[in-house]
Chains A and B, each alone.
Chain A
Amino acid sequence: MTDFNKMSRRDFFTVTGKAGLATIAAGAVGVNFGMVQVAEAAVGKSKVSPFRFAILTDAHLFSHADHKFDAMLEKAVADCNKAKPDFVLYCGDIAQNGTADQLDKGKKILSKLTMPLKVIPGEHDWYLDMGAAWRGHFGPQNWSFDHKGVHFIGMNSILVKDFWTGAGMTPLERMGVMEMLESPLAGPWGVQAEQLDWLKKDVKKLASDTPIVVFTHSPLWDYYPRWNFQTSDAPEIREILSKFVRVMSFHGHVHQTVYNKIGNMGSVGTMSTSWPWPYPPVKQAYPEHQQLRADPGNFEDGMGSQLIDLESDFAGKMLYKPFAESLTPTMKNGFKI
Chain B
Amino acid sequence: MIKVERRPVSDPGIDENAKKLTPEQIEGVIRHVLEKESAGRLRTFVETCIHCGLCSDACHYYLAYKRDPSYSPVAKVRLTLWDMIRRKYRVDAESIKMYARISYAECNICKRCSMYCPFGIDIAYLMTVVRRICGLLGVVPQYLQDQGNSHMYTYSQSWVPQDDWVDTALWLEDELRMDIRNGRIPFDKEGAEVMYSPHSLEAKFKTNLLTNIAKIMNVAGVDWTMPSFDGWDSTNQAMHVGDYETMGMVERMHFEAAMRLKVKKIITSE
The answer to whether A and B belong to the same complex is no
